[in-house]
């Protein structure tokens, strides 16, 4: 199975900060990587697919980059609505696997 390792597990930041979350895959995944956001009691919502493509309707402050086995999600200027848990997910190989999540808290 492809192991997805996110860092950090928890991140404290303030409104207006620029934050970056990293996801490392245990093998090359051909950029078949998505990022999703989840708020408590809600379903996940996709933000980025194919490593760097912004899903329709997602604010442009979210961006994804990376290739090979190293990927990042960047939020350029944190807004109050962005405090949530973020997951990376590879869909290059079965089983589909997720990172363990990064909880983004208000500092």
Partner 1 sequence: EVQLVESGGGLVHPGGSLRLSCAASGFTLSDHYVDWVRQAAGKGLEWVGRSRNKANSYTTEYAASVKGRFTISRDDSKNSLYLQMNSLKTEDTAVYYCSRVLVGPYYMDVWGKGTTVIVSS
What tokens does 23 get?
């996801």
Closest to partner 1 by CB, 69 or 100: 100
- Between 16 and 41, CB nearer to partner 1: 41
Smallest separation (angstroms) from partner 1 to the CB of 15: 26
- Distance, CA of 32 to CA of 93 (rounded, Å): 9
Q: Minimum Å distance from CB 17 to partner 1?
A: 24
Number of other residues whose CB lies within 10 A of the CB of residue 9: 11
Q: Which residues sit at the interface with partner 1, rule CB under 8 A? A: 32, 34, 36, 38, 42-46, 49-50, 53, 55, 87, 89, 91, 94-101
22 or 44: whose CB is closer to partner 1?
44
Residue number with CB closer to partner 1 (75 or 102): 102
In order, the DSSP letters of the chain are ---EEEE-SEEEE-TT--EEEEEEESS--TT-EEEEEE-TTS--EEEEETTTEEPTT--TTEEEEEETTEEEEEESS--GGG-SEEEEEE-SSSSPEE---EEEEE-
Q: How far is the CB of 28 from partner 1 (least distance, A)?
A: 16
User: What's the min distance (Å) between Cβ of 86 and partner 1?
Assistant: 11
């Amino acid at each position: 199975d492809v192991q997805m390792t996110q860092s950090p597990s928890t991140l404290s930041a303030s409104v207006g900060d620029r934050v970056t979350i990293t996801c490392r895959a245990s093998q090359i995944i051909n950029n078949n990587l998505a990022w999703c956001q989840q708020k408590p009691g809600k379903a996940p919502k996709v933000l980025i697919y194919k490593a760097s493509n912004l899903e329709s309707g997602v604010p442009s402050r979210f961006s994804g980059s990376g290739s090979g086995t190293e990927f990042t999600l960047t939020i350029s200027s944190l807004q109050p609505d962005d405090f949530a848990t973020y997951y990376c997910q590879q869909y290059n190989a079965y089983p589909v696997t997720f990172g363990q999540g990064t909880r983004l808290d208000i500092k």
